[in-house]
Amino acid sequence: MLDPKPGEKIVDLCAAPGIKTSLISWLTNNTASIIAGDFHTERTKIMKNLTLDLKITNIHLLNEDSINFPIRFENYFDRILLDAPCTGSGTFLSNPEIKWRQNEDFLYQNITLQRKLIESAIKLLKQNGVLVYSTCSLYPEEGEYQIMEYMDFLEPLHLPTWLSPSYKINNSILAGTGRLFPSVHQTQGFFIGKFKKKG
């Protein structure tokens, strides 16, 4: 989805444990300049060990708060991956215990965090830069409704046809968004959106 290119400046805002970041590095032949950040110290340590094991040299790891990303530049990065923290409602098959955490307070907590992360990503992304936003959630509040708030800043981009359409909002599909469903794709449940930052 991110379609990273060699030589680009890329950020993975919620990167740990580092599998997606490592794949981005591999797809760019280790030539992109990648910053991978995560709030959780222990998960960041796991990411460090993974990148060392894979002999990846073009990733700069940060144990940081991506809401207040510790970099001076705005409108700077070519691509940003934001696989945001969420309720995990799409992962019940592999994590059945998560269903007992589902309630309005837990949902609101995650929605609030996601909004702050999206706003941080938009600020960091350069004009015409690409943002991929995803959550492993089946709730529209963490997907379609969430991203609708930022369509003044984002232009939808084309998604692969193998994705299912996202949920209809006001009787229409939100362009640039799609979903993965366990029953259809034999995966976890995901919302995925791909956008270009407007000028």
pLDDT of 49-69, one tens digit each? 999 999 998 999 999 999 999
Q: How confident is the model at residue 158 (pLDDT cuts 50, 70, 90)?
A: very high
Structure tokens at 160: 């692969």
Mean pLDDT of the chain: 95
Evaluate whether residue 146 is within a structural domain: yes
**DSSP type of residue 91:** G
Residue 179 main-chain phi, psi, to 5 deg: -140, 155
Q: What per-residue confidence (pLDDT) applies to 72?
A: 84
Q: What per-residue confidence (pLDDT) applies to 121?
A: 97
Structure tokens at 98: 């998560």
Task: Please tell me which residue in 24, 136, 159, 174 is annotated as part of the active site.
Answer: 136
Q: What per-residue confidence (pLDDT) applies to 162?
A: 94
Evaluate whether residue 151 is within a structural domain: yes
Evaluate whether residue 27 is within a structural domain: yes
To the nearest 10 degrees (0 to 180), the angle between helices 19-27 and 41-53 is 40
Mean pLDDT of 16-45: 95
Measure the CA–CA gap between 144 and 173, rounded to whole angstroms. Answer: 9
Give the containing element (helix H, strand E) for 128.
Answer: strand 125-135
Please report, in angstroms and rounded to a whole number, the separation of the first and last CA atoms in the chain. 22
Q: What per-residue confidence (pLDDT) applies to 73?
A: 82
For residue 71, pLDDT beyond 90: no
Amino acid at site 98: I
Write down the pTM of the prediction: 0.95
Evaluate whether residue 1 is within a structural domain: no
| Number of separate domains in the chain | 1
Q: What per-residue confidence (pLDDT) applies to 192?
A: 98
Range of the domain at 42: 9-197
**Could you confirm whether 136 is annotated as catalytic?**
yes
Mean pLDDT of 127-147: 98
Structure tokens at 112: 């609030």
Residue that the structure tokens 């940081």 belong to:
64
Tell me the pLDDT tens digit for each residue of 91-124.
998 899 999 999 999 999 999 999 999 999 999 9
Evaluate whether residue 2 is within a structural domain: no
Evaluate whether residue 4 is within a structural domain: no
Q: What per-residue confidence (pLDDT) applies to 199?
A: 84
Domain holding 71: CATH number?
A: 3.40.50.150
Give the CA angle between residues 81, 88, 169 to the nearest 5°.
Answer: 75
Give the CA angle between residues 149, 176, 107 to the nearest 5°.
Answer: 45
